Amino acid sequence: MSAFPTSTTVFDSVLFRDAFGTREMREVFSDLRLISRYAEVEVALAKAEARCGVIPAEAAEEIAKRTDVAALDFDLLRQETDNVGYPILPLVHQMAKQCGEAGRYVHWGATTQDIMDTAVVLQLRDGLKIIEDDLAALRGILADLAKRHRNTPMAGRTHLQQALPVTFGYKVAIWLAMFDRHAERLAELKPRVLVGQFAGAAGTLASLGDNGFEVQQALCEELGLGVPVSTWHVARDGFAETVNFLALVTGSLGKIAFDIMIMASTEFGEVYEPFVKGRGASSTMPQKRNPISAELMLAASKAVRQHAGLMLDAMVQDFERATGPWHAEWMAIPESFVLSAGALHQAKFALGGLIVDEKRMAVNLDISRGLIVAEAVMMGLAPAIGRQEAHDVVYDACRVANDKGLTLAEALAADARVADRIDRATIDRLTVPKNYLGLAPQMVDRVLASVKR
């Protein structure tokens, strides 16, 4: 084997693996862990069948005692898998050899997909626990950030133009509410997804006669999984739901990343990722401080979205055993989990130490010379002259302010239609942006109080 790095993907690259994933999640979906899960399911099946009187108890004990994943010939396993097309028969060959006389009871009554699907469910359980913990940590970070900046005024923007004043805490609370919902979704999907698979060749449990349901339940109990109400060899909604859930999570991370990247641009300068010497540096422009974590979050969201579509496509399977779509899951599931963990890791770093420039937010809020609160003036005039005429009057004042470089207050005071109805002190008060935050601070309170924190 070459002493030089030979990986061809970002997931295992010595350069990029920690940018697009985490060590903990890579281990969950590593070859060794997956093969160990296959063996774990086979051993659990033997134990379950012994409990149900299907195979001798002594055989199950021997299978459990003598199965040794570390002692497997992985090169032979690879070669036979390449030939067979699936890894379970090659694994059973070696397990049977390890277990001696008891080896003839390995994989009793099972089919390849029973073992592979159930092993993946065990991976999902581990992977979702990591995601759950990351979501909890990120929600804590966002809650603290929203509370701290509950009253920090800034320009709210629609269509990338200043619209109305908001607070930064309000913006963060919207982010937080998304992840509160993701935590709720995760809690709801786990009982649907963390279900074992054991049904035999065509899903009818025919090989076990009248013991089929009993063995199925015993196997799921051995593994701590839910018992399926029906065979799901070709009903892949659970796996598709899981990856689409990850797409929702990373989609929300992508939205946050997009906001951060724009707000960190030179012309905005309102937030920055935590300062680490050299991070985000340019090879030619020493002044640069690029939003690296946000860029990685956005890239991950795009990749997981593609896998979500692939998983939906893979749901369209033929009859009682798929001829191809199943294999697409082998790519989409591990990569989606690794990417999601990587994006959450980047989010915890970026948001956990986010630098918020309140002074720059205030400067940007005043950059329109009061035009950002034109609605406030319109609503102030409306009781006297009607909403539509008030809109037209303020619209004209905005044009004058823009053309002549005036503040909105100056343009309004120069218009007799306004000056005759509202005194200058009221005009000045109405055109101060921080006086027109609506219920933004109170919305922060509502989000913070909406769930137990």
Q: Which residue has the tokens 């839910």?
A: 226
Are 293 and 350 contacting, i.e. CB atoms less than 8 angstroms apart?
yes
Residue 340 burial (CB count, 10 A): 29
Which of 131, 230, 234 has the alpha carbon at shortest distance from 189? 131
Are 114 and 198 contacting, i.e. CB atoms less than 8 angstroms apart?
yes
Are 244 and 306 contacting, i.e. CB atoms less than 8 angstroms apart?
no
Beta bridge partner(s), residue 355:
272
The token duo for 293 is 């974590």
Measured distance CA(77)–CA(91) in Å, rounded: 7
The token duo for 418 is 């306004």
Q: Which among 265, 282, 327, 450 is annotated as catalytic?
A: 282
**DSSP E strands, 273-412:** 355-356
Distances in Å between the Cα of 275 and the Cα atoms of 169, 181, 288, 289, 367 are 21, 31, 12, 9, 27
Measured distance CA(249)–CA(289) in Å, rounded: 26
Q: Phi and psi at residue 155, in whole multiples of 5°?
A: -75, 125
Residue 222 burial (CB count, 10 A): 18
Q: Outline where 29-158 has alpha helix (H).
A: 31-51, 57-66, 74-84, 88-98, 112-148
Distances in Å between the Cα of 293 and the Cα atoms of 11, 254, 255, 296, 348 are 16, 11, 13, 5, 9
Which of 254, 345, 330 has the alpha carbon at shortest distance from 24? 345
36 is an active site residue: no
The H-or-E segment that residue 155 falls in is strand 153-158
Measured distance CA(273)–CA(271) in Å, rounded: 7
- Residue 99 is classified by DSSP as T
149 is an active site residue: no
Q: Which among 159, 233, 307, 368 is annotated as catalytic?
A: 159
* Overall residue count recorded for the chain in this entry: 453
Residues with active-site annotation: 159, 282
